[in-house]
Amino acid sequence: MTRNATTDSDAPRVVVAGEMLIDFLPDRQGPLESVASFTKRPGGAPANVAVALSQLDETPAFATRVGDDPFGDFLVETLSEAGLDTELVERDPEAKTSLAFVALGEEADRGFSFYRDRTADTRMQPGSVPDATLASADWVHVGGVTLADEPSRTATFDLMRRGRDAGATVSFDPNARPELWDEFDFEASVAEAFELADVVKATPEDLEALDYEGDPETMARRIRSDGPHTVFLTLGSEGSLVSASEESPWVTEETVVSHGGYDVEPVDTTGAGDAFTAGVVAALVEGQSLAETLSFANAVAAVTTTATGAMTALPDRESVRQFRES
C-alpha cells in the first residue's frame, strides 16, 4: 500500500489506537502469589505495536487515553522517548491508568491479572482521531481489548469504519482476554470487528476462545469467510502463516504462505505477538511480499523474546537485520 500523492508526505502512514497501561513484571517465574516484587514497564498491545513500529522506522500516529496520574505521566514520557507524537494521547482527570500484573511460566509464557475497572483506556472517545490524520494514512490498526467496555467500544468500531471509508487498510487483533469481558459478548464483538477488518492477526488461543476449530489453515480460511481478505496466525515455536484470498492486494489468487520461525532461547514472550504485528504492518506498508513479510515479522518477534518486557525488548531494523543474517 502507498500513500495517496495528494496527502501530506510527512504525515504518518499508519494509525494505531487502543489501550496503554502499566505491566508489572515479576522477579521470578511462578504464580503471582509466590512473587516478592515487580518491575514497572509500559505495556498494552496497541501501544506495543505503535512503539515497535517506531523502532522499525515506521512511526505511527497513536491514539490512546491514560489517567492524569503518575502512571499516565510515565506512559506519555515513554511514548515521547520512543519518538511518537503524543498529540492523540488523551489524559483523563477522572479515571486511573490501567495496571496488569504478569506471571511468567517455565517456558517464558505469561498470564495477566488486570486492574482495569473503569480506567482511562475504557473511556476512549469516538472521533479522537482527526479526519485529516486518516486521510493521510495507508493503514489503521486496533485490538480487541477496547471492545469490552463503553465508550472505548464505540470509539474502536467508529475508527475502523472511518479508516475503511478513508481508503486505509484496517487490521485487527482479537487479543482474547476473557477476564476483561463482562458487559458485552466477546465472540459477537469479534465477529463484528472481522466484518470491518481487511487484515486479521490472531493466535490459536484467540481462536479457541472464539470456537474456531481445525488446523491453522482451516481456521485462517474460516476467519476469511467472516470478512477479512488476509489472515496472519502466529503459531509459537512453529512460526506463522498467512492466508490470503484473491481480494488481497498482495496476491493475485488464493494463497497460503508459512514460515517456520527462528530458534531462540526465550526470556519473556510478553509483547512478542505485538512485535510480530508491527513487523507485518511495516513490511506490507513498504510493499514487501507476503513471504518476506512473514520472515521479517517472525524475526522481529523472535528478537523481542530474548529480553524482558514488551516495549523495552523491541528491536530496531539493524538488530533484526543482524539477527536474520546470523
Inside any domain, residue 235: yes
Residues 79-115: b if buried by 16+ CB within 10 A, e if exposed: beebebebebbbbbeebbbbbbbbbbeeebebebeee
Inside any domain, residue 50: yes
Please give the grid coordinates belonging to residue 274: 505485538
- Please list the rounded mean pLDDT of every run of 10 residues in the chain (326 residues): 53 97 88 89 94 97 98 98 97 97 72 90 97 97 97 98 98 93 94 98 91 92 96 94 98 97 85 95 97 97 85 90 94
- DSSP code of 271? T
Inside any domain, residue 286: yes
Please give the grid coordinates belonging to residue 196: 470491518
Please give the grid coordinates belonging to residue 102: 504478569
Query: Which residues lie below 8 Å from residue 131, measured CB to CB, with a gap of 6+?
Result: 162, 166
Inside any domain, residue 21: no
Inside any domain, residue 19: no
- How many domains are there within the chain? 1
Which pLDDT belongs to residue 104? 79
Give the CATH number for residue 156. 3.40.1190.20
Which pLDDT belongs to residue 9? 63
Task: Classify strands 240-244 and 255-259 as parallel, antiparallel or unpaired.
Answer: antiparallel
Which pLDDT belongs to residue 230? 98
Inside any domain, residue 198: yes
Query: Which residues lie below 8 Å from residue 165, measured CB to CB, with a gap of 6+?
Result: none
Which domain range does residue 299 map to? 45-64+127-325
At 270, the amino acid letter reads: T
Inside any domain, residue 27: no
Query: Which residues lie below 8 Å from residue 238, measured CB to CB, with a gap of 6+?
Result: 260, 261
Inside any domain, residue 135: yes
